[in-house]
Amino acid sequence: MNNKSRPKHLNLFKVRLPISGIASILHRLSGLLLFLATPLMLYILTISFKNNSGFEQAKLYLDSMWVKFIILILIWSAMHHFLAGLRYLVIDMDVGLSKNSANLSALLVSVLALVLSIIIIIGVL
């Protein structure tokens, strides 16, 4: 086996990350949060179009405090995951690979995601 050294297990508390590394870990964190919320969101979506009472039920869920709180987190998660993901697609095309531009784009998407989330959250509330 030539892949005996894989997989590598990383101790996150012993690693000092540059901004591109922070954006990367936030990409993972936001992805994980979106994954965890999928069953609930899928449930609310599928009852919403099933019948009239399901639609009303879905509205009740979306109006409840705990679902609202989850959605606040999901708005940031989706925004960061979307923008940081687009950045990876660009990087996959060998654009912006230098250390400086990689750090700059990482800072840009992280800040932009945060600012846009706050704007959307204020708009929703």
Contact residues for another protein (CB under 8 A)?
3, 7-10, 12, 28, 31-32, 34-35, 38-39, 42, 46, 48-50, 52, 55-56, 82, 85-86, 89, 92
12 vs 122 by CB, closer to another protein: 12
CA distance 45 to 38: 10
- Would you state the structure tokens that stand for residue 11, as one six-digit string? 């101790």
60 vs 100 by CB, closer to another protein: 60
35 vs 69 by CB, closer to another protein: 35
Minimum CB separation of residue 7 from another protein in Å reads 4
Enumerate the H helices of the chain as residue ranges.
Answer: 19-48, 52-63, 65-92, 99-124
The length of the chain, given as a count of residues: 125
